[in-house]
Chains A and B, each alone.
Chain A
Amino acid sequence: MSDLFQPAKNLFTAMKFVAKGGKWYYGWLALLSLFIFIGAISYIKQLDKGMILTAMRDQVSWGFYISNFTFLVGVAAAAVLLVVPAYLYNFKPIKEIVLLGEILAITAIIMCLMFVISDLGRPERGWHILPLIGAMHFPASLLAWDVLVLNGYLAINCIAVFYVLYRLSLGKEYKMSVLWPIIILSIPWAISIHTVTAFLYNGLSARPFWNASILAPRFIASALCSGPALMLLIFQIVRRVSKMEISNTAIFKIAELIAYTMGLNLFLFAAEFFKEFYSGSVHLAPMQYLYFGLHGHSNLVIWMWLAFIFNLTAFFIFLRPKTRENFFTLNLACVLIITGVYIEKGMGLIVPGFIPDVLGEIYEYGPSLIEKGVALGIWAAGALFFTLFLKFALPVYTGELRFKSSGFERKE
């Protein structure tokens, strides 16, 4: 009964599932496609004229792209780290959390790679960084480490998701004995991607704002706020549009955990704030620029205080059982945290590394139209990828979508 064309038929079945949807679904896809189109046009322009179309210059040589990259590494790490509390608290929907978290991690890493490639002056030479075919500067360069851990993380999560969906799509239960080792590996690996990314900045003695030991812990703490907050929103959407069941208990428990991680994040922030302002050395300048402005330059001040207020408000919302168990305030707090951390771990982290620059100049950076266009396109591409992936994975998970076996694998 082996059928050579079965894989093709299966693909067709999957396509039918992915293509089916209501008017909201099609509208969403159309909107994302439009954004991707804008992004593609922007990127082609940038390739043609060079990065002079961005607002980056020698003084501020990394900007919006690297900011987005940094934030997304946090999302990728934290989505999978949710497995730990899910396991400890024995949540019923732990498998759902694992699956959704890993699909989100895959999406975030792909977006990270797109942002980094957008930031390269010579993207066609990207292969120079690879081991064996290129000249990877390992272990000296932290960027080489980042390439390894990010791609390794991508591979681990792809393997896990592929295994689960492959088994389920053939109507077989997947074996936890196979999946657990992968998950156990992915948890420390998730920590490592964010740590290595923090070290990438942390190791530069030329940039006092980054060259502070608190950087990596703050990275992890803030990622443990924004990642789960994003997951909470996704859980609610998923259980509304599919038959996947995610209990309120699990959602409220995660909200409670966010209160603790946000508490930690705010504490680490206070520690850094105190050290810089109380000692008041010359290395205070970037912090001064961020929160009060420096020599009349204050582009980021409003954003940094907004981020702080957002994070603080969300902290109190999640701390009180009454407000974290009310879906309006819960979702409000999620949005506040995602925005707050996006500002703090994006532009608020990258730009002050360069202000003032190493020769004391202040060049105020704000992303150009091209940079915004490319970023919009990448975010839309990520959202599209995630939507289509879920559109396929959810029915497989709930048993609505089943493939016929091609008859090649052994019978069980």
Chain B
Amino acid sequence: MLKKTGKHPLYKSVDRRSFLKGTAFGLASLAIPFGTSDASVWDAFFQKHFREMDDDEIKSVIKRMEKEYADEYKTDFKIKTTGPLPGVKFGYGLDLSLCIGCRRCVYACVKENNQSRDPQIHWITVLQFKNGERWVNVFEEADRYYNPQEVPEEGHFYMPVQCQQCENPPCVKVCPTQATWKERDGIVVIDYNWCIGCRYCMAACPYGARHFNWGKPHIDKSEINPDVHYFGNRPRYKGVVEKCTFCIQRTRENPGRYPACVEICPVGARKFGNLLDPESEIRYCIENKRVFRLKEDLNTSPKFYYFFSI
């Protein structure tokens, strides 16, 4: 399962962890009044790195989290930990000749992935360019706050940017705690319970794909999506980093579903599929259209392809 997806330099986890637990419990009992020391707070504090946990530990963590989320949002949550499907590597295509800059993808993503509404977090940024201006790799002339009555605006074109799911992700390389890594299906995930919020990954990401919970995320109870994945759209915490996961909670199902942004796009500009399947739509696009990837000079090798159908 997921546990075996990557190398991990750690061993003997149980012994040292329980040692730490004992010491810290001793110290903590001095500091925290007994009445308020809820056991689940401490379970959360001592929760291990996801890839160090065995199946039973994962189960108990999920149970604890489902209860925490249910208490907070008054809805029953189902937290999946579905691993990568064998023989799958996800790729994404975006047809720039069709995109009209309507931002439906942005808001479908917010809704599906339980992004904080206040403060507002968007995983997709749509850049607007004037015809004839510099673009592709120089974004200084881009406007990401365009707000006209109607889109598309005459003389403008649009380029949505989100996590490019790099094959060679700089964010993963720099994370000091291994809280983020690339899974076998190519999705770069974050363990929101292991991230310390140092934001080194945000400095390293060339695409502005990573977002920080500067304040406590707030979502109306009525707008919550309770069908969540551990690495994906479960509600986040204050002080951790989050990002697009190609809707891991949908795409890892079997049969899989399209990411919310692909599903909502009114002009069909967004394509998604398995790069390892020669018959897939994404492979067709790569092989038959003029594709390019953002900031190729950085050798991050994104699995996010922009192309032109017209």
Seen from chain A, the residues whose Cβ lies within 8 Å of a Cβ on chain B are 49-52, 54, 56-59, 61-62, 116, 119-129, 132-138, 140-144, 147, 200-201, 203-207, 282, 285, 295, 353-354, 356-361
Give the distance in Å from the alpha carbon of A50 to the alpha carbon of B119 in the complex: 11
Give the distance in Å from the alpha carbon of A205 to the alpha carbon of B216 in the complex: 31
Closest-by-CB residue of B relative to A205 is B298
Contact B196 A125 (CB under 8 A): yes
A203 proximity list for chain B (CB < 8 A):
174
B138 proximity list for chain A (CB < 8 A):
282, 360
Give the interface SS of chain B, mostly helix, strand, loop or mixed: loop
Known pairs A135-B8, A135-B194; A121 contacts B176 (CB<8 A): no
Instruction: Say which residue of B10, B212, B239 sits within 8 Å of A58 (CB atoms).
Output: B212
Give the distance in Å from the alpha carbon of A283 to the alpha carbon of B239 in the complex: 31
Contact A121 B140 (CB under 8 A): no
Known pairs A295-B140, A360-B140; A51 contacts B174 (CB<8 A): no
Instruction: Say which residue of B127, B161, B198, B213 sits within 8 Å of A143 (CB atoms).
Output: B198
Instruction: Fill in one digit per residue for B113-138: 1 if any A CB lies within 8 Å of its CB, else 0.
Output: 00000010000010100000000011
| Max count, chain A CB within 10 A of own CB: residue among B141, B176, B298 | B176
The 3 closest A-B pairs by CB, nearest first: A121-B197, A121-B239, A360-B139
Interface residues on B, range: 35 or more
Shortest beta-carbon distance, A142 to chain B, in Å?
A: 7
Contact B177 A136 (CB under 8 A): yes
Tell me whether B173 is interfacial, beta carbon within 8 Å: yes
Contact A61 B199 (CB under 8 A): yes
Identify 10 new A-B residue pairs, CB closer than 8 A, beyond the known A58-B202, A58-B210, A358-B205: A57-B214, A119-B198, A129-B196, A132-B16, A141-B174, A203-B174, A206-B206, A358-B139, A359-B144, A360-B138
Task: Scan residues 174-193 of chain B and give those whose CB is less than 8 A from a CB of chain A.
Answer: 174-179
Contact A122 B196 (CB under 8 A): yes
Give the distance in Å from the alpha carbon of A138 to the alpha carbon of B194 in the complex: 16
Give the distance in Å from the alpha carbon of A116 to the alpha carbon of B216 in the complex: 21
Closest-by-CB residue of B relative to A353 is B203
Contact A128 B203 (CB under 8 A): no
Task: Scan residues 38-79 of chain B and give those whose CB is less than 8 A from a CB of chain A.
Answer: 45, 49, 52
Shortest beta-carbon distance, B14 to chain A, in Å?
A: 12
